[in-house]
């Protein structure tokens, strides 16, 4: 909109930027003392997400400290079920919980009012775009329909989302209805984030890895493709990153089938395969977050391997999953310096 | 040894058996009322593993009920850390626990006495071979060094084995020492099972999927290759199945690099990729266990897709992960009948 040069937008347009721009999934998080302070002063976790003053503050904290090339809106993928009145709550030490949904519950879901419920998120995005440095890309995001659905079905996190897999086998029509509804709502939500000032958006399919071949097509590819179709129909220039964690071989055709500009890679994706994927377009990833906890040589070696294999093509340097609370903030600084020192 | 015709041994020799032989991972388990009864009468879970009368009984239960083509020794992958005096205990509803190991603990590990500690397991194998029908393949098993190490480091199960990944980054030499020791002990353990009467053995690398590319080579491939080398040096005819769950693309070279006869496939492995893997040798898998819970059309469709794609080559029909307690025993019967009805 402003014509500012934003490196991550350049990469999303297919250009190679050297050294590659860098941000970290969950960069506004518990590894930062300033985050823990703001979090402690807020009420519930959802209060933090829905209070623009606080959400803006925690989003900006890692930008102030490190000057990442992107800020990602502070929010959660479960604001969608929250907006759908699923009684979402974040219980300390237990992870997110909500009322599990059944077939009748799916029939009764209404998409009206969802975007209005999420108005504070869009206000956060608007303020962020004003407060961020010109050169910083602002990323919006949401969960992919499959991943959001896994929580809605189980009512909480599980090791391999068996409840949602089972539900989909037992009630395929109701399950597809749920995914369709989530795809439409989520697409509108991302359009609203783009309109509020997000330069690009990321779709998180954190549980794509537990699906069989046909189910990956039906539940991971199809709803994300539908989302991107809806977004592009309204905002043809929208820049979209799709991150299907654990998708492995299914990543081969994921970009082409979904229409995403860039694909996110988790740390288990072999770099030799990542090189193949990069021939078709930009990739984002994929350092093991444990290397940021460990620091030292394992951090350096992990960074160097990614830069060596992927640094000569369109790359957004990132972790392969969210940074963990145990990560040392000094290691994050070392990471950025090493990435930025590359080819400089 | 007896010259009996055992279908699974035939498949492991590279032959196509039609219809394919079938067994299920964790087939002796909580979904069976007779298992729950025996389990309730035993003391601890480890007592069940170490009491040949009981372990033989639960191993035979699914064979009596269903006539599977293989019986798998009832035991647990954590008998190895138990034999290494890591204070292993199975706490109801909490999963396995043990004393987490550190660098000094690894230096102090002694392999002496491990096989003697596991003598009751070999007694179970001996009795099983006597009591099983001639045509039933008897499978022994153990955990792969990486998977066993993840529990030894964390002291319990975790969602993505972050503690072991971190430990390996921080203390690569101590970690490789642990894997070497586990590889040697586990190989001797499998040789002892083979000598006691196991027709074939399976190595379970349940956590292979959380490793990056280099770590997969160093921690999943290398120790399993070493195990198989040790086993084959002593028992050149040993038949070995290696199951690296979640290994995805890394499976491409896994058979060739480890020397396994057959490779196990989890339910996320696309059948189109499985077809490629089967060109190099036998495969085992890979029905989603949730289809056995769901039953009906989703069970039939899942079975048919596997038979259609893999039934014309060397295949051991199995699940892509262990059967769950919620599975309906009637669905298991339907599964076997459908697999056996194929090409009949």
Compute the distance between CA of residue B178 and CA of residue B222 in angstroms, rounded to an integer. 13
Q: Which residues of A fall within a CB distance of 8 Å from B159?
A: 159
Query: Which is nearest to A284 in space by CA: A186, A137, A126?
Result: A137
Compute the distance between CA of residue A297 and CA of residue A2 in angstroms, rounded to an integer. 41
**Cα→Cα distances A245→A147, A206, A269, Å:** 10, 5, 9
Compute the distance between CA of residue B199 and CA of residue A166 in angstroms, rounded to an integer. 34
pLDDT in tens, A47-59: 999 999 999 999 9
What is the predicted pLDDT for the residue at B2?
53
What CATH fold (topology level) applies to the domain A7-341? TIM Barrel (3.20.20)
Residues of B catalogued as catalytic: 26, 30, 39, 76, 151
Q: Which residues of B fall within a CB distance of 8 Å from A211?
A: 268
Task: Give the strand pairing for B95-97 and B89-91.
Answer: antiparallel
DSSP H or E segment with residue A108:
none
Please report, rounded to a whole number, the percentage of residues in chain B having pLDDT higher than 70.
Answer: 98
Q: What are B's interface residues with A at a Cβ cutoff of 8 A?
A: 159-160, 162, 165-166, 169-170, 172, 209-214, 216, 246, 248-250, 267-273, 288-291, 293-294, 296, 298, 302, 305, 320, 324
Under a CB-based contact definition with an 8 Å cutoff, are residues A230 and A184 in contact? yes
Contacts of A248 (CB under 8 A, 6+ apart): A209, A268, A269, B248, B249, B268
What are the b/e assignments for B195-225, b being 16+ CB within 10 Å?
ebbbbbbbbbbbbbbbbbbebbbbbbbbbbb
Compute the distance between CA of residue B21 and CA of residue B46 in angstroms, rounded to an integer. 30
Task: Determine the length of chain B.
Answer: 344
Contacts of B315 (CB under 8 A, 6+ apart): B11, B16, B20, B278, B282, B283, B284, B306
What is the predicted pLDDT for the residue at B343?
52
Q: What is the DSSP string of B237-287?
A: T--EEEEETT-GGGGGGHHHHHT-SEEE--TTS-HHHHHHHHTTS-EEEEE
pLDDT mean over B119-134: 98
Under a CB-based contact definition with an 8 Å cutoff, are residues A265 and A251 in contact? yes
What is the predicted pLDDT for the residue at B120?
98
Where do the structural domains in chain B lie, given as residue ranges?
7-341
Contact B273 A210 (CB under 8 A): no
Contact A290 B169 (CB under 8 A): yes
Which of the two residues, A154 and B2, has the higher pLDDT score? Answer: A154
Nearest C-alpha in A relative to B266: A212
Nearest C-alpha in A relative to B209: A268
pLDDT in tens, B285-325: 999 999 999 999 999 999 999 999 999 999 999 999 999 99
How many CB pairs (< 8 A) connect A and B? 89
What is the predicted pLDDT for the residue at A91?
86
| Long-range contacts of B338-341, Cβ-Cβ distance < 8 Å, separation of 24 or more | B338/B299, B338/B300, B338/B303, B338/B304, B339/B19, B339/B20, B339/B22, B339/B303, B339/B307, B340/B19, B340/B22, B341/B19
Q: Which residues of B26-149 form beta strands (DSSP E)?
A: 70-72, 89-91, 95-97, 137-143
Q: Is A170 a catalytic residue?
A: no
pLDDT of B130 higher than 70: yes
Q: Mean pLDDT in runs of 10 for chain A (344 residues)?
A: 84 98 98 97 94 98 98 98 97 91 97 97 98 98 98 96 98 98 98 98 98 97 98 98 97 98 98 98 98 98 98 98 98 98 64
What is the predicted pLDDT for the residue at B4?
82
Query: What region does B315 belong to: left with phi over 0, alpha with psi -120 to 50, or beta?
Result: beta
The phi, psi pair for B265, rounded to 5°, reads: -120, 130
Catalytically annotated residue among A31, A151, A219, A254: A151
Q: Is A76 a catalytic residue?
A: yes
What is the predicted pLDDT for the residue at A343?
52
Q: What are A's interface residues with B at a Cβ cutoff of 8 A?
A: 159, 162, 165-166, 169-170, 172, 209-214, 216, 246, 248-250, 267-273, 288-291, 293-294, 298, 302, 305, 320-321, 324
Q: pTM score, two decimals?
A: 0.96
Query: Which is nearest to B301 in space by CA: A215, A216, A40, A292?
Result: A215
Q: Which of B166, B212, B267 minimises the CB distance to A212?
A: B267
Q: Which residues of A fall within a CB distance of 8 Å from B294?
A: 166, 169-170
Query: Which is nearest to A153 in space by CA: A138, A169, A132, A142?
Result: A169
Q: Which of A166, A211, A214 minimises the CB distance to B293?
A: A166
pLDDT in tens, B29-73: 999 999 999 999 998 999 999 999 999 999 999 999 999 999 999
Catalytically annotated residue among A31, A66, A76, A219: A76
Q: Which residues of A fall within a CB distance of 8 Å from B269?
A: 213, 249
Compute the distance between CA of residue A51 and CA of residue A60 in angstroms, rounded to an integer. 14
């Amino acid at each position: 909109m402003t014509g500012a040069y934003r490196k991550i937008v350049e990469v999303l347009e297919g250009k190679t930027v050297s050294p590659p721009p860098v941000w970290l999934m969950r960069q506004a998080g518990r590894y930062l003392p300033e985050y823990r302070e703001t979090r402690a002063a807020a009420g519930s976790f959802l209060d933090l997400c829905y209070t623009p003053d606080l959400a803006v503050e925690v989003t900006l904290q890692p930008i102030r400290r490190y000057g990442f090339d992107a800020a990602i809106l502070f929010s959660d993928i479960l604001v969608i079920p929250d907006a759908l009145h699923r009684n979402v709550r974040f219980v300390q030490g237990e992870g997110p919980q909500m009322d599990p949904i059944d077939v009748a519950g799916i029939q009764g879901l209404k998409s009206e009012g969802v975007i209005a419920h999420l108005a504070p998120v869009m206000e956060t995005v608007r303020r962020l775009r004003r407060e961020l440095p010109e050169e910083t890309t602002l990323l919006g995001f949401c969960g992919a329909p499959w991943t959001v659905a896994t929580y809605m079905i189980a009512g909480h996190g599980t090791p391999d989302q068996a409840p949602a897999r089972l539900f989909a086998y037992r009630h395929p029509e109701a399950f597809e209805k749920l995914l369709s509804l989530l795809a439409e709502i989520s697409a509108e939500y991302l359009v609203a984030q783009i309109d509020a000032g997000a330069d690009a958006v990321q779709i998180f399919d954190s549980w794509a890895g537990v699906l069989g071949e046909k189910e990956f097509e039906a539940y991971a590819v199809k709803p994300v493709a539908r989302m991107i179709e809806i977004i592009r129909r309204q905002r043809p220039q929208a820049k979209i990153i799709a991150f299907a964690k654990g998708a492995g071989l299914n990543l081969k055709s994921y970009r082409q089938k979904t229409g995403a500009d860039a694909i996110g890679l988790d740390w288990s994706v072999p770099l030799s395969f990542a090189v193949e994927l990069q021939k078709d377009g930009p990739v984002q990833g994929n350092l093991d977050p444990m290397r940021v906890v460990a620091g030292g040589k394992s951090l350096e070696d992990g960074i160097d391997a990614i830069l060596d294999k992927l640094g000569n093509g369109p790359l957004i340097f990132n972790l392969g999953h969210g940074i963990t609370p145990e990560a040392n903030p000094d290691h994050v600084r070392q990471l950025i310096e090493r990435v930025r020192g590359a080819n400089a």
